[in-house]
Structure 1
Amino acid sequence: NRSVFALTSLFEPFGLAPLEAAAAGLALVVTQNGGIIESLREGDREYGVLVNPDDPADIARGLERLLCHEGEWERFAQSAKQRVLSKYTWESTAKGYLSLIEQVLSSPRTNLGRDLLPIHSYFQNPQPANDISLAELSQLYFRNCQT
């Protein structure tokens, strides 16, 4: 029995439902638009079939790819489950936050008051009218960073 989870919305900001489905062992057919791509693609490796939600034929091809080819279904189901269980758990999230907090606490405290970052209005009043993109957040918070 090869079940497939499909999420073909036009845009998905993060996509928790696909991660839950992957953790349950389902292969994924999901929109290529939005934050899901960050969760289900790393370099050239994909952990689900990413489809164009504006193209019904592309969605059908994605579903057919998994339902008609057992090897593809198994590969995607196993790799997505493994990725989710290693990267998207409460424990790994907490470790990530702890690491960031330790970095902040160990950094020099000079100019601390002067260099506080602004808080975008979306985080004080999350409404569609004052939404902010990742690109805009990067510009707001990292514009002075040298890489």
Structure 2
Amino acid sequence: MPNRPDIRDVEVIAPNFKRRLSGVTSTIIQLVPVQNKLGQKVATLGPGLPDTLPKLRWRDLLSLWTPPPGRKARIWHARRNVEMLAGLVMRDLLRMKLKLVFTSASQRRHTGWTKCLISRMDAVIATSAKTASYLEVPCTVIMHGIDTERFSPPADKAAAKAALGLDPARKYVGCFGRIRHQKGTDLFVDAMIALLPERPDWSAIIAGRATAKHVEFEAELKEKVRDAGLDKRILFVGEHTNIHEWYRTLDLFVAPQRWEGFGLTPLEAMATGVPVVATDVGAFSELIVTGEGETGLLIPADSLSSIAQAAASLMNDTARRNAVGSQGRRHIASRFTIENEARRVAAVYRRTLEA
């Protein structure tokens, strides 16, 4: 049964006006339970969300003229243009008791329409310093966090591999996320075709879904793998809700994106104690430590040779992989927990309501 909260008890509404799973949807799914655990009284609204989350009905919006007890307004926390627009209609046209907060993860120049919407928000959050540089309004930088209990190293990596039907004796390099050109899945495949023949103890895992628009792209990659005779060693395992268990099978993670808004996968890998090779896009340069205390390697975007060279350097050095993986876990636990993200977001809510 859906989790239906009483609207009178809800102080923050997190709308999700997109049915298909996306990075924004994933953020809501992970953050809202932590916010409620910390006493923030957050409910969601819209499709594409699990029934375990507190979820309002559309008719509950009719109650937004009345604020919750002890408050002058509720927070409407938008993450997309359409959600900002809905908040503006309710606040400015219908005069509902709302304060509007917007989180931006985009790293490109905004259209005039988006700028107009953002300028009408009561508060703006940027998910990275790079994102903040594209905003023309004051904002608070709050980087995404990770559930470090869910994403954690396995007690026994060989057992973790066996539990998912993998060979416990093999080492695995992974690339997780949606399968498409923007995500660089083809670069990962080409790098593995070049590297695996000389490393018979390694295999590769590609976890994620290709949407209808990108099915042909995925099919071409699978055909390329078959032609290389590596279809038993470069595995397309599809999309999984237990993705944290797949991270626990990995000995190396590669994030080969050509473009990214933020990008959670390096955080998830590091939290699981897996060393990372990532392109310098999105927030990756703000997430990954290079040099002393390194948690991974940063490489230029859209460079097959750079991906292959960086991956090979870690595949060939077990001691370095282990050290980088351990340092990554400590880095995430100290700076990027989801509880810290939730507390910092709550501080923005508080300041906005008090303004």
Q: CA RMSD in A?
A: 2.8
Structure with higher RCO (Cα < 8 A, 6+ apart)? 1
Name the structure 1 match of 2:193. none
Equivalent pair of 1:13/1:36 in contact (CA under 8 Å): no
| SS class of match (1:5) | strand
Q: Given the alignment, which residue of 41, 51, 54 partners 2:289?
A: 41
Confirm or deny: 8 A CA contact 1:12 1:31 kept in the other structure. Answer: no
Output the TM-score relative to the length of structure 1: 0.60
Aligned mate of 2:313, from 61, 65, 80:
65
Question: Which of 300, 313, 327 in structure 2 is aligned with 1:79?
Answer: 327
After TM superposition, give the deviation of residue 100 of structure 1 in Å: 4.9
Q: Following TM superposition, by how much is the alpha carbon of 1:41 offset from its aligned partner in structure 2, in angstroms?
A: 3.5
Structure 1 pair 41–23 and aligned structure 2 pair: CA distance change class (3 A) = same
Indicate whether 1:50 and 2:310 are aligned.
no
SS at match of 2:266: helix
What does 1:1-147 align with in structure 2 at a 5 Å threshold? 1=171, 3-41=251-289, 46-100=294-348, 104=351
- Over 3 Å counting, the alpha-carbon distance change for 1:21 and 1:43 in structure 2 is closer
How many angstroms does 1:71 deviate by? 2.5
Q: Secondary structure at the match of 2:258?
A: coil
Structure holding more strand per residue: 2
Instruction: Using the TM superposition, give the Cα deviation of residue 94 of structure 1 relative to its aligned residue in structure 2, in angstroms.
Output: 2.3
Counterpart Cα distance in 2 of 1:14 and 1:42: 18
Letter in 2 for 1:26: V
Instruction: Name the residue aligned to 2:221.
Output: none
Deviation at 1:22, TM superposition (A): 1.4
CA distance in 1 between counterparts of 2:341 and 2:274 reads 22
Q: Is the 8 A contact 2:293 2:327 kept in 1?
A: no
Distance in 1 (alpha carbons) for counterparts of 2:254 and 2:312? 12
Report the counterpart of residue 128 of structure 1 in structure 2: none
Query: Percent sequence identity over matched residues?
Result: 25
Bigger radius of gyration, 1 or 2? 2
What do residues 78-117 of structure 1 show as CA deviations (whole Å, max 9, x unaligned)?
1111111222222111232345566x48xxx8xx6xxxxx
Question: What code does the residue aligned with 1:5 have?
Answer: F
1:43/1:4 Cα in 2 relative to 1: closer, same or farther (>3 Å)? closer
Alpha-carbon contact 1:10-1:31 (below 8 Å) kept: yes
3-state SS of paired residue (2:302): coil
Please say if residues 31 and 52 of structure 1, whose CA atoms lie closer than 8 Å, have aligned partners that are also in contact. Answer: yes
- How far apart in 2 are the matches of 1:14 and 1:98? 21
**TM-score between the two structures when normalised by the length of structure 2:** 0.27
8 Å Cα contact 1:65-1:72 kept in structure 2: no
Distance (Å, rounded) in 2 between the aligned partners of 1:41 and 1:21: 13
SS at match of 1:74: helix
| Distance (whole Å) between structure 1 residues aligned to residue 348 and residue 323 of structure 2 | 33
Displacement of 1:46? 4.0
Taking the aligned partners of 2:328 and 2:289, their CA distance within structure 1 comes to 10
CA distance in 1, matches of 2:289, 2:278: 12
- SS where residue 265 of structure 2 aligns? helix
Give unpaired runs (5+ residues) of structure 2. Answer: 1-170, 173-250
Could you say which structure has the higher helix fraction?
1
Report deviation, 1:45.
Answer: 5.6
Note if contact 2:280-2:300 (Cα within 8 Å) is conserved in structure 1.
yes
Query: Partner of 1:53: helix, strand, or coil?
Result: coil
Give the aligned residue type for 2:342: A
Q: Within 2, Cα distance between the matches of 1:99 and 1:42?
A: 31
When residues 79 and 44 of structure 1 are mapped into structure 2, their CA distance, relative to the original with a 3 A threshold, is: closer
User: Equivalents in 2 of 1:65, 1:22: separation in Å?
Assistant: 18
